[in-house]
Structure formats: structure tokens, C-alpha cells
Amino acid sequence: MTTALEKPPTAQAQRSPSARSLADTVFRARELSIGGALLLLIIATWISNPSFLDDQGVKDLLLNSSILVLLAVGQSVVVVTRNIDLSVGSVVGLTAFACGHFASGTDHSAVTVLLLGTGLGLVCGLVSGALVSFGRVPALVVTLGMLYVIQGIDHAWAHGRQINAANVPDGVLSLGSGSVLGVPCLPLISAVVLAGTAYFLRTYRSGRELYAIGSSPEAARLAGIPIRRRVLAAYAFSGAVAGFAGALWLARFGTVVADAANGWELTVVSAVVVGGVAITGGTGSVWGAALGALLLTTIGSALVVLKVDSFWQQAITGVLLLLAITTDRVVQVRTTSALRKKSRR
């Protein structure tokens, strides 16, 4: 569901309901098409290999997609403001190793470890957000630089060491292996974060203002929206979610090395854009981003089940990304043209 901020009753604002209605229709159709493609992929893979949807297969699919869904949710909040965060993968790696180092050989609770990971990620997000919003440095430059800085810190700290699952407290590992009523804990946690973020973006004024910033920064400024603070908050949220995901990475895998989640930033961006969040900002939803993450994860799992070379996963992801960006551009041009014709009439 696409969200937009209500504007003052100007001539431009009088056309905004039509614009929102058209955009809502287009992106709802986009999310439905992704859901349909996901369903067809699952059915086709199941027909080829029935074990794909047995109990363990479904559990693995949910677990494999949980962390990517979380990262896609955080990234979506940044992208709707017409920005990007390429540092999320390195934040996951740093916080996973930091949480493992902190918890190894101790009896720290899972809550303490999760808070540590979230706090470290929040600091990283605040640094990136401050440079983008107050330093006026392009988001691509800032977050790419942060990616390498964080990776350098992580490798220097790890110095070839790794965290072993045998040293991680059982309470932490139980998050990755435990379940509630037969449903693994990690997908449930991801679903709660997803639903909470979607509710905030749709219901609260500050959430709707993020869409207004992405739609038109100049109009948002004239409307009195605190753009710098909102962008800073978006990056802080993305960093906190990435840090939280890093702690869950430790719970999921137990064994952590310095390059955990290396390269995931591009997968996360692909999931968000494929899911209907326009790279130019202002439109899309976290629900669509989650569907994009599920689709990419399912493609990877299906290729493994069908014994297809993993190279094709990257190729397919690239094709989907290009198609999504092209579709967004075509929709944007046609929407603008349709609204201009309607205003002339």
C-alpha cells in the first residue's frame, strides 16, 4: 500500500488525490504480480521436486528469508525518502561479530545481545544519516564509504578469528533454532517488525512525511516538514534494524566470521526495488519490499533444489532489478502525462 502526505489545498494539491489513486492502483498491482510470481515459482519447483515444500523445506525457506526481509524493511524507509543505504551488509557483519564476541563464554540473555546489536547498528545509522542530512553529502558516497569503513573495522577487530557456536549462550542460539506453535522464531520476529513499520508509515504523520520528502523535497520543505531530521531518523532506523539483524544472524548461524553478510547490500536494494519501492523515492511499501525479499530468496532456494548453477541467481536478480527500475520509470512518465492531460481538461 502506497502512502502519501496530505498537502495544503493548492492547485497542485487538488490534483494529488488523483495522483495518489493512480499510484496506489499501479503499485498494488505491482505487489499482486510479485505475489503471483512467487506463488507460481513455488508451485513449479514443488512439481519438479516435491520435497521443496515438505516440513523442513518450508522451514528453511522461512528462515533463509527472515534476515533479508528485515533488512529490506529498514532499507525501504530510507529509499522512500529518495536516498539509499549501501552499508547494511557491513553493519550486519560488524554487529554479528560484536555480539558473538560479547556473548562468547558468558550467560548473557538473548535480549541483552539483541539490544547490543541494535545499539551498534543505530550508531552506524546515525553517522550515515548525519552526513547525508546535515553534511549534505550524497547518500551513495556516504554509505559506500561507510561500507568500507565498517568492513575495515570488522576485519581489523576479527584479525582472522571467528565466533564458534559452541561458545554462544543457548538462550541466543534458541532464537535461531526455536519455534512457537511450530513456526520458527525468526520469521515471527521479522513479521512483527514488518507489520509495525507498515503501521507507522501509514498511520503516523512523521511516517507519511517520509513519502512526501521522497515525492518532492522542495515541496516538503515549503510545507514545513523537517527534512533533515526525518532523513536522519530514516537512516537511524535502517541502521538499528541492520544491527538487530546482525544479532539474529549470530542466533541463526552461531558461527560468525568477519565477512558475514558480505555483498548483501545489493541484494537488499534489489529486493526493495523489485518489491515496488521506487528508487526515486515517494512510492512503494514495506509489504512489497518483503515480497521482493521472499521472491529473491525463493529463487535461490529453487535453483539449489533444481541443481542449477548459483550463477543464475545473480543473473536473474540483475534482470529483475533492471525490469523493476524500467517499469517504475515508465509508470512515472505515464502517470505524469495522464495527470497533465486531466488537469488541462
φ, ψ of residue 81 to 5 degrees: the values are -90, 10
Query: DSSP label at 180?
Result: E
Cα 182 to Cα 30, 66, 67, 108, distances in angstroms:
32, 16, 19, 26
Nearest to 95 by CA among 237, 236, 247, 239: 247
Q: What is residue 17's predicted lDDT score, i.e. its pLDDT?
A: 47
Mean pLDDT, the chain, whole residue set: 85
Question: Does the pLDDT of residue 335 top 70, yes or no?
Answer: no
- CA torsion sign for 151, 153, 159, 162 is negative
Q: What is the pLDDT of residues 202-234, one digit of tens each?
A: 999 999 999 999 988 999 999 999 999 999 999
- CA torsion sign for 62, 305, 251, 318 is negative
Report, as an integer, the average pLDDT of 242-256: 93
Name the range with the highest mean pLDDT among 32-41, 43-52, 124-133, 266-275: 124-133
The CATH code that applies to domain 11-344 is 1.10.3470
Burial tier of 215 (Cβ tally within 10 Å: 0-12, 13-18, 19+) = buried
Alpha helix positions (H), 159-285: 170-177, 185-203, 205-215, 217-222, 227-253, 264-274
Structure pTM? 0.86
Percent of the chain with pLDDT over 70: 86
Q: What is residue 301's predicted lDDT score, i.e. its pLDDT?
A: 85
* Angstrom distance (rounded) from CA 7 to CA 247: 40
Question: Does the pLDDT of residue 130 top 90, yes or no?
Answer: yes
Q: What is residue 345's predicted lDDT score, i.e. its pLDDT?
A: 63
Q: What is residue 16's predicted lDDT score, i.e. its pLDDT?
A: 47
Q: What is the pLDDT of residues 142-181, one digit of tens each?
A: 999 999 999 999 999 988 888 888 888 888 898 888 888 8
